[in-house]
Amino acid sequence: MSKGCFITGTDTGVGKTIVTAALATALRKRGLRVGVMKPVETGCSMDSDRLQAQDSSLLRQASGCTATVELVTPYTFAEPLTPALAAERVGITIDIKHIRRCYEKLLTEHDITLVEGAGGLLAPLTECLTMHDMAVELGLPVVIVARNVLGVINHTALTVTVARERSFVLGVVLNHTQPPSDLAMLTNADALRRWGKAPLLCQLAYTTTLTPELLHVYGEQLVSTGLLAEIDAH
Ligand SMILES: Nc1ncnc2c1ncn2[C@@H]1O[C@H](COP(=O)(O)OP(=O)(O)OP(=O)(O)O)[C@@H](O)[C@H]1O
Ligand SMILES: [Mg+2]
């Protein structure tokens, strides 16, 4: 089996964490030891004298991954900024090799490891590196989460085009972060099949409450697309 996949998105706040948690839920249900990683998390709140990484915590919960927070999220920052800037403002340079070492440790303890990026694919990680460099460094194929709004076709095609330069694109997940309220939202799935430049894996419905049961349903939807076999092959 391939080592896992990298979950990126067309933007920040598009549903990467929900997709990663759902996939982790489905893989765990199949008896796999699922590792998770959110290597850099910004906008963390201070609690009990340490920065609390919320995405990281949800991913650990969904996957059952018991690795230390330092391995799952080696970099946490308080300011809600792109990683390179949040780091720079506290005098830190993110070390991609350190992220790789943490990932490799997780690999040794799990059957599959899911890595959630921060922001979109070209979000800066350092002065010269982006999130895409991280996906390439870890050697992972990419899943792209796209938010169902007017403009998603362009955002998706751009992201797929850049991703394909150096990574294998497993496909796109169209996530409904709002209730359908306009014609674009109703036609985006078909439009993405025509112009999205990568397979549309599935759509995740809008929900008012995210329960573990719903994560399970979303996870089964993701797995039923054949994603596991594709991850296996790349
Ligand atoms: N299908 C959905 N239905 C309703 N709300 C959703 C859905 N998907 C995501 N959301 C909401 O949208 C917000 C962003 O989702 P999420 O945190 O998964 O995005 P993200 O891409 O991981 O963001 P970040 O870039 O901060 O990591 C959250 O408040 C989440 O609850
Ligand atoms: Mg997230």
pLDDT in tens, 147-162: 999 999 999 999 999 9
Q: What is the pLDDT of residue 48?
A: 83
Residue 99, pLDDT above cutoff 50: yes
Q: Whose CA is nearest to atom 23 of ligand 1?
A: 13
| pLDDT tens per residue across span 170-204 | 999 999 999 989 999 999 999 999 999 999 999 99
**CA 121 to CA 14: how far, in whole Å?**
13
Residue 2, pLDDT above cutoff 90: no
| pLDDT tens per residue across span 56-83 | 999 999 999 999 999 999 999 999 999 9
Supply the mean pLDDT for the chain: 96
- SS3 state of residue 142: strand
Sole residue written with tokens 């690999």: 107
Length of the chain, please?
A: 234
Rg (CA), the chain: 17
| Binding site membership of 177 for ligand 1 (Cβ less than 6 Å) | yes
Residue 164, pLDDT above cutoff 60: yes
The CATH number fitting domain 4-227, selected from 3.30.1330.10, 3.40.50.261, 1.20.1260.10, 3.40.50.300: 3.40.50.300
| Binding site membership of 176 for ligand 1 (Cβ less than 6 Å) | yes
Domains of the chain by residue range: 4-227
Residue 46 dihedral angles phi and psi, to the nearest 5°: -85, 130
Q: What is the pLDDT of residue 3?
A: 86
**CA 8 to CA 228: how far, in whole Å?**
17
- SS3 state of residue 124: strand
> Residue 217: which residues within 8 A CB-CB, separation 6 or more?
none
| pLDDT tens per residue across span 6-53 | 999 999 999 999 999 999 999 999 999 999 999 999 999 998 889 999
Q: What is the pLDDT of residue 52?
A: 94
Residue 230, pLDDT above cutoff 80: yes
Catalytic residue among 3, 16, 29, 38: 38
| pLDDT tens per residue across span 122-146 | 999 999 999 999 999 999 999 999 9
The alpha-helical segments, DSSP class H, found in the chain are: 16-29, 54-63, 69-72, 83-88, 96-109, 131-138, 152-166, 183-195, 212-223, 227-233
Which ligand lies nearest to the CA atom of residue 14 in the structure? 1
Ligand 2 centroid to Cα of residue 15, in Å, is 7
Do strands 45-47 and 50-52 pair parallel, antiparallel, or not at all (unpaired)?
antiparallel
Express as a percent the part of the chain with pLDDT over 90: 95
Confirm whether pTM is higher than 0.95: yes
| Binding site membership of 171 for ligand 1 (Cβ less than 6 Å) | no
Residue 1, pLDDT above cutoff 70: no
Is residue 38 part of the annotated active site? The answer reads: yes
| Binding site membership of 120 for ligand 1 (Cβ less than 6 Å) | no
> Residue 135: which residues within 8 A CB-CB, separation 6 or more?
6, 8, 115, 117, 121, 142, 163, 167
Q: Whose CA is nearest to atom 11 of ligand 1?
A: 177
**CA 161 to CA 159: how far, in whole Å?**
5
Contact 129, 158 (CB under 8 A): no
Token pair belonging to 150: 């007017």
| Binding site membership of 14 for ligand 1 (Cβ less than 6 Å) | yes
**CA 5 to CA 234: how far, in whole Å?**
9
Ligand 1 centroid to Cα of residue 15, in Å, is 4
